[in-house]
Amino acid sequence: MVSAKNTARRSRNKNHRPQTGYCAGAGGHAPDGRVRENGARTMDFDLLKRYGIPILPHAIAKDIGSARKAAAKIGFPLALKLISSRFLHKTDSGALALNVGNEHYLRTEFERLMRMAKGDKQASILVQAYRPGRFELIVGGRMDPQFGPVVLLGTGGIYTEVLRDISLRVCPLDEREARAMIRSLKSYPILAGARGRKPVDEAALSRILMRVSRLMENERPAELDLNPVLVRDDGLWAADVRVLR
């Protein structure tokens, strides 16, 4: 998380191969299915749900049978993400599969991921709807030693730390401040619909920022990362979450 010190392909063809690539970090999982990393809850989608933050449909699977049941409920294509203390950072590790389009590749990729975690009895797989966005954002927060809870918005995905296109505000956050955050980003012209692109729903993004602000004030986690938040025509969706207590 950045410091606040300076601020107050839907293929169902059996021949289609899923993609492997980036995912936010994850650790071992608790009995309730929520992921824990060094005792800190990380992949806590239930927390986001309680605050009305939109999340992609998902389930935790320990075996191929439960993965198939999840797939039947969620529908293809899917993203599969390995939950294991051995793979805290999934960038370039191949510890996930994207755009899994049918049961053949569901089994193939599920077995591949579980082999990667061989010996980790706590390993499981996050089975999630695969819905790529036309733009990725990061929304988050942290407890700043000087200002208390702060909210962050920036360019998301794997280039968050490279581009460092971010905006920070101290909680509590109202709609005016949320919209000011959005419009202060260097990437705002893209979000606003540059070159004929469909603009982001600023009202929906503002609501997410305000709900994250309430979460930070009420729950007071050390850090919170929603990365990426997918900008899609059907709304904005948190695809990954990391919470450090």
Q: Which residue has the higher pLDDT, 162 or 37?
A: 162
The Cα 1–Cα 201 span in angstroms is 25
At 43, the pLDDT band (50, 70, 90 cuts) reads: confident
> Residue 5: phi, psi to the nearest 5?
-65, -20
Residue among 96, 50, 27 nearest 245 (CA): 27
Please check the confidence at residue 238 and state whether its pLDDT lies above 70: yes
> Residue 118: phi, psi to the nearest 5?
-50, 130
Residue with tokens 């059996």: 14
pLDDT value, residue 32? 42
The one-letter amino acid at 64: I
Q: Where is 241: in which H helix or E strand?
A: strand 241-244
Q: For domain 135-244, which architecture applies?
A: 2-Layer Sandwich (3.30)
At 19, the pLDDT band (50, 70, 90 cuts) reads: low
Domain boundaries in the chain? Answer: 28-129, 135-244
- Domain 28-129: which CATH number of 3.30.1490.20, 3.30.465.10, 3.40.50.450, 3.40.50.720: 3.30.1490.20
Give the model confidence (pLDDT) of 155-190 as tens digits: 987 767 777 899 999 999 999 999 999 999 999 999
